[in-house]
Amino acid sequence: MVTAVQDSPLTSDEVLRFVARLQSSEFDADAAAGIDLISALETMKSAGVAAQAVVTDAVATTISDERRERGKPKAQWRIGIASQIGLARRESPNRGGTHLGLARALVHEMPHTLARLRAGELNEWRAMILARETACLTVEDRRTIDERLCADPATLAGAGDRTIEGRARALANELDAASQVKRRAKAYAARRTSTRPAPESMGFFTVLTSMEKMVCMWATLRRDADTIINSGGDTRTRDQIMADLVFERVTGASAAQGPPVTVDVVISDSTLLAGGDTSAYMHGYGDIPSDVARQLIRDTLDSETHVALRRLYAHPKSGALTAVESASRAFPTALGRLIDLRDRTCRTPWCDAPIRHHDHIRPHSANGTTSAENGAGLCAACNYAKEGDGWTAEARRDKHNARHRYTLIPPTGHTYDSSAPPMPVVELYNSRIENVILTGLFGDDAA
């Protein structure tokens, strides 16, 4: 191991000079030298994570101390810090909060884990496992586990993710079994459902709940699917029947006749009417192939489905939507939907969370208009962070009919540009489905 003596603080310019060296270097074709280089780069990554953790904690402490000294209420000392960390790491605010929590734990409560990370003997994920498995313990117990597992480098040498997780959990149970009960209760309080796209125009509908309820639901679905199969006459597989049973029991309708639901499909006129191959966009799912979009619309028109057509005008090159203005402070339904379709997900860079709030880029209190130009779709976390002390944002337009763009400026003065995605958009089809075409993708019965 090479040890360097550093007599001055590390700067971003020094790191970027080393990155430039990596980017321009050629590598030895010798296999043994290549393995040594891979190992050295892995050590560098872990040491970089350790340095990031120390700097992250220092930045968070500096910002909160400055706010405290300025007499800000305690509730405002840490607002928006996780978002700044996420932006700096080119990740979502949620991930920024995770990195901030890990940094605080490593610096203040887990010094031996930080030392192993700095030495390259643990990677970031394994340090995260140790922090996660000890999160419910007192500081004293967490430090005890940190010392027992990480003070001696040989203790976890060669251990994989599951081994580290198991050993940390066993020690946590030994030191404080009651904390595990609290942890389970906290986890159960976070039960939820979620959806995400899958390949081939499919989608996942996920339920996070307690272990015993999960097993009970699975066993019930399998039992009822086996009953249907044993009765004969059904050509579906067991997995297909179980998926259809979930839909039927959640919606109260059969898999062949879905409940009314609004589905927005954005498609250009040339793609719809002239056989173009530009992808369409399905709100709440994402881009879909042109052939799939045409088939969905064709099947809809052939069924007893109410179809409403609305035209949206877009610049042929940039895909920028026409602005719509309103005199009200709150974004009206139609304008909010336009922003949803334009932005698709939260507009904060690297955050793909669903849109929950329609935000004024220039605040309404600063004479910001309620318009598409001054509006942005944000998740709740990003909107709350933007309302924190020192955050500003500016709407921008490089040229006439360019896609919507604005600049987000956190308290440190860094700038992050956000551009709306290009839209294959001239016409919007809004279908109220009664004979189901799409299932499991959209849950809102929008007007």
| Tokens matching residue 30 | 């010798």
Instruction: Quote the DSSP letter at residue 80.
Output: T
Kindly give the interhelix angle for 81-88 and 93-108, rounded to the nearest 10 degrees: 100
Report the 3 state secondary structure along 11-36.
Answer: CHHHHHHHHHHHHHCCCCCCHHHHHH
pLDDT at position 371: 86
Pairwise CA distance, residues 92 & 94, whole Å: 5
Pairwise CA distance, residues 201 & 131, whole Å: 38
The amino acid occupying position 23 is: Q
pLDDT at position 111: 97
Nearest to 289 by CA among 424, 95, 182: 424
Q: Token match 């960390």: residue?
A: 85
Pairwise CA distance, residues 92 & 381, whole Å: 10
CB 367 within 8 A of CB 320: no
Q: Which residues of the chain fall below pLDDT 50?
A: 1, 258-259, 322-327, 425-447
pLDDT at position 324: 42
Nearest to 354 by CA among 228, 179, 194, 217: 194
pLDDT at position 297: 73
Q: What is the pTM of this model?
A: 0.69
pLDDT at position 254: 67
pLDDT at position 149: 96
pLDDT at position 11: 92
Residue 142 pairs with which residues in a beta bridge? none
Exposed e or buried b per residue across 88-122, where buried means at least 16 C-beta atoms within 10 angstroms of its C-beta: beebbbbbbbbbbbbbbbbbebbebbbbbbbebbb
CA distances from 443 to 105, 195, 250, 264, 400 (A): 39, 10, 11, 12, 37
Q: How many residues does the chain have?
A: 447
Kindly give the interhelix angle for 81-88 and 31-69, rounded to the nearest 10 degrees: 150
Pairwise CA distance, residues 171 & 166, whole Å: 9
Per DSSP, the three-state class of 267 is strand
Per DSSP, the three-state class of 157 is coil
Kindly write down the DSSP assignment for every residue of 330-349, as one continuous string: SPPHHHHHHHHHHH-S--ST
Half-sphere exposure of 132 (CA within 13 A, CB side): 13
